[in-house]
Amino acid sequence: MPVFKEKLTPAERISPDFERRIAFLNKLMIVVCDFTNGPAAEPEKPHSHPHEQISYVAEGELYLFLGEEKHRLSKGDIFTVPSGIPHCIQTLSSHVRLIDAFSPVREDYIG
């Protein structure tokens, strides 16, 4: 389907305070992530993946932990995550929305 309307596309609930909506083609994926657990007392557990990632902060404030770096980000900021680099976030506001793009497509998200 080439068009996804937010009000008509059900979100995938990953946990009580995290849901996502996914659209993808053969070589590119976009994921709208909504976090409602903030402000969080601790960051998420760091993870890494072989995919390149670019993320846009559409709403809220957060800390990004990228390798050994820590960055405070807010609405309008963009960050990049190279393949294989450990990273995670810590929400600082009650709602954080990230728009993540991945290449290649994350098969683990659609499998």
What pLDDT, on a 0 to 100 scale, did the predictor assign at position 1? Answer: 62
Residue 2 covered by a domain = no
Q: How many domains does the chain have?
A: 1
Residue 85 covered by a domain = yes
Nearest-angstrom CA–CA distance, 16 and 62? 19
pLDDT in tens, 49-62: 999 999 999 999 99
Position 6 pLDDT exceeds 70: yes
CATH of the domain at 58: 2.60.120.10
What's the start-to-end Cα distance of the chain, in Å? 17
Residue 19 covered by a domain = yes
| Gyration radius of the chain's alpha carbons | 14
Position 85 pLDDT exceeds 90: yes
pLDDT in tens, 33-84: 999 999 999 999 999 999 999 999 999 999 999 999 999 999 999 999 999 9
Closest-CA residue to 51 (of 71, 81, 73): 81
Domain that residue 22 falls in? 12-110
Q: Within 13 A of 64's CA, how many CA atoms are on the CB side?
A: 19
Give pTM, 2 decimals.
0.93
Distance of CA 103 to the CA centre of its chain: 14
Residue 83 covered by a domain = yes
Closest-CA residue to 98 (of 22, 43, 5, 28): 22
Alpha-carbon separation of residue 99 from 7, 31, 32, 56, 68 (angstroms)? 17, 6, 5, 5, 23
Residue 5 covered by a domain = no
DSSP code of 60?
A: S
